[in-house]
Amino acid sequence: MRELAEKFLIHLHNKNFSRHTLRGYGKDLEEFADFCQLRQAQPAQAFTPAFIRSFLAALSAKHPARNTMLRKIAALRSFTHYLLEQDLLKQNPFKLLPAPKRERLLPKFLTPEEVERLLEAAADKGRLAARNRALFELIYSSGLRRSEVTGLKIGDVDSFNGVVKVLGKGNKERYVPVTNEALAAIKDYLSTRPNPQYQDALFLNKNGTPLTGDGLAYIFKHLAIKAGVARRVSPHSLRHSFATHLLNNGCDLRSLQEMLGHKNLSATQVYTHVSLDKLKDVYQHAHPKNKGA
């Protein structure tokens, strides 16, 4: 089972799947391989509806969060499709197994005041202050995903047109506007770098090598504590803040969808829930029956 899983991951790598996806699928399939080993099940026995159902039951006891379960099921489904394509399986066991619906979680976002405190903490003293300020100014100004911001090259920043070229999910390129503050912060940061080249990674860690997603999460965690943000937040919270604050200030959903790199508008519509207070405020001021109240 482990050898098949390794071949599957190599197949995904050759199709340019992101490192984040490969790492997640690798962990999920390792869990499935451990379960197969525990039950002494060969691939022919493992890919049956009854065996998959028993594995999912064990998963649900270990991982009660529905969306975690869904991610693990997606990894196993994708693995199954690969085995079918390679003629290593004759039947798809998932055809007889209904998939649980995804739990709609409202995104965690920061208030404008919290964002300002975070940006001030990032720009505070220290050898890496210029980098940290540029890093978080850019994420907040453009709503980039963690993998997108760490994958940027210096040449992806177009200061003349005020945009950044981003390689998003599915290797799809898009151009996202950048604030003047973020561009200025990037310029200041690059001035601290010896001989920066267009093809170099935009953000480096303290050792001078490209910043990773885990490194970004580590920096964010410590700066959030320094800024006095008590809630549990992550770099993705800045992306959520970007989207929520734009909607609250009149941005339309289609434009926001394009900036966020969402394939479907339904993924963007989740932000309308967290903007309900703004909608109520607009309603109170716009409805004829409320005027003068």
Q: Would you call 23 a catalytic residue per the annotation? A: no
Q: Would you call 153 a catalytic residue per the annotation? A: no
Q: Would you call 127 a catalytic residue per the annotation? A: no
Cα separation, 213 vs 208, whole angstroms = 15
**Options 117, 131, 145, 146, the catalytic residue:** 145
**Sign of torsion, CA 216 221 225 230?**
positive
Q: Would you call 291 a catalytic residue per the annotation? A: no
**Options 20, 39, 81, 169, the catalytic residue:** 169
**Options 117, 133, 239, 245, the catalytic residue:** 239
Cα separation, 88 vs 97, whole angstroms = 20
Q: Would you call 187 a catalytic residue per the annotation? A: no
**Options 25, 140, 189, 271, the catalytic residue:** 271
Secondary structure of residue 176 in the 3-state scheme? strand
Q: What is the DSSP letter of 291?
A: T
Q: Could you tell me where the DSSP H helices lie in 144-293? A: 146-150, 180-190, 213-226, 235-248, 253-260, 265-269, 271-274, 276-286
**Options 131, 236, 240, 245, the catalytic residue:** 236
Q: Which residues contact 157 (CB under 8 A, 6 or more apart)?
A: 164, 178, 183, 186, 202
Q: Would you call 169 a catalytic residue per the annotation? A: yes
Active site residues: 145, 169, 236, 239, 262, 271
